[in-house]
Amino acid sequence: MRVLRLNHAPSIVGYAAVVGGKEHEGPLGADFDLHDDSGKFGMDTWEKSESEMQRLALNLALSKGELSYQSIDAIFAGDLMNQCTGSAYGLLSFEKPYFGLYGACSTFAEATMLSSLMINAGYFRKCAAVSSSHFCSAERQFRFPLEYGGQRAPTAQWTATASGAAILSADGNGPYVTEVMPGIIVDKGINDINNMGAAMAPAAIDTLTAYFTETGKQPDDFDLILTGDLGLEGLSITRTLMKNEGYDLTKVYNDCGLLLYGKASQDVHCGGSGCGCSASVICGHILKRFAKGELKNVLYLATGALMSPNSLKQGATIPGIAHLVHISSEQNG
């Protein structure tokens, strides 16, 4: 069994999202707690800016949940930078047990899942799940210099400058993380860095079909099924192939990478990506909709492309992963 049902489902008691200018200009702009149009957040390097975003996001999540930093028992966090330095420097000042994670764009779901499992098992009472990505630090590491004059492929995605933090607690009034399902690594032979949606979609399909098969649930049992960050191309592939598997996602399915930007006007091609993309959409937008009562039952399925610049240069294919987190307004949901 891959679906893990949490008998002591933890509650999300604080959440916040911090974004850059482009993300703030997007359709969800008003939902984010803090933004800096320059993307610098008062720092002199992009790497420090990303760390600062994580620090701000966690501080805001704590203050919105009316919690002190002493109350959290552990932090699960990650980002896209080499050796996860974005998280290490950003969360240094909290002086809390820290688990550094790398799941590429799936990191926020991985952090939420591990936080929930630890709380469910009784090891911790309160955990923080944090992740971030910064367009400028990611471009430098994975693609070209920022001022390099090139054209992007139509299937390319835009790394979000964003960070999200959520505080999970053994006590609270919801929403709750009631089920989680760790993804398995799936590689269907895609090696095009400019089509990450196609590289990650098979992992999303694997996780979703396994979840529906094991639980006997159907897509329409949910208010929303949200992948993070397949973009337009990956979403479309997932929708088509899930239909072949016998699951019609038409009514309830969307993707964090598409929600974050207004596609045509913002020139992001297939949509957003990066660890901060789904983290900010969940912590900025989705959890607010839970608070308003607009959503009660959401399957959040963050996908990650597990390649490195060197593996790509060596011609290796891009493995994908998709971790599932079921968020419900009911503790038994």
Partner 1 sequence: MNMDSETYKKFTKARAPKSPIIKDCLRAFWVGGLICTFAEGLLHIYKMLNMTEENAKTLVPITLIFLAALLTGFGIFDDIAKYAGAGTLVPITGFANAMASPAIDDKSEGLVMGVGAQMFTIAGPVIVYGVLTSVIYGVIYWLCGVIG
Least separation, in Å, of the C-beta of 153 and partner 1?
6
- The residue (of 68 and 244) whose beta carbon lies closer to partner 1 is 244
Least separation in angstroms between CB 72 and partner 1: 32
Contacts of 121 (CB under 8 A, 6+ apart): none
197: left (phi over 0), alpha (psi -120 to 50) or beta: alpha
Exposed, middle or buried by CB within 10 Å (0-12, 13-18, 19+), for 187?
middle
Q: Residues with Cβ < 8 Å from 295, sequence gap 6 or more?
A: 223, 224, 286, 289, 329
Contact positions toward partner 1, by CB under 8 A? 44-47, 140, 144-155, 186-190, 195, 198, 202, 205-206, 209, 233, 236-237, 241, 245
Pick 140 or 289: Cβ nearer partner 1:
140
- CB neighbours of residue 10 within 10 Å: 28
For the chain, the maximum distance between any two Cα atoms, rounded to a whole number of angstroms, is 53
Closest distance to partner 1 from the beta carbon of 39 (Å): 13
- CB-wise, 63 or 209, nearer to partner 1? 209
Q: In terms of CB distance, is 64 or 152 closer to partner 1?
A: 152
Closest distance to partner 1 from the beta carbon of 123 (Å) = 35
Pairing of the two strands 11-20 and 34-36: parallel
Closest to partner 1 by CB, 122 vs 149, is: 149
- Closest approach, Cβ 309 to partner 1, in A, equals 11
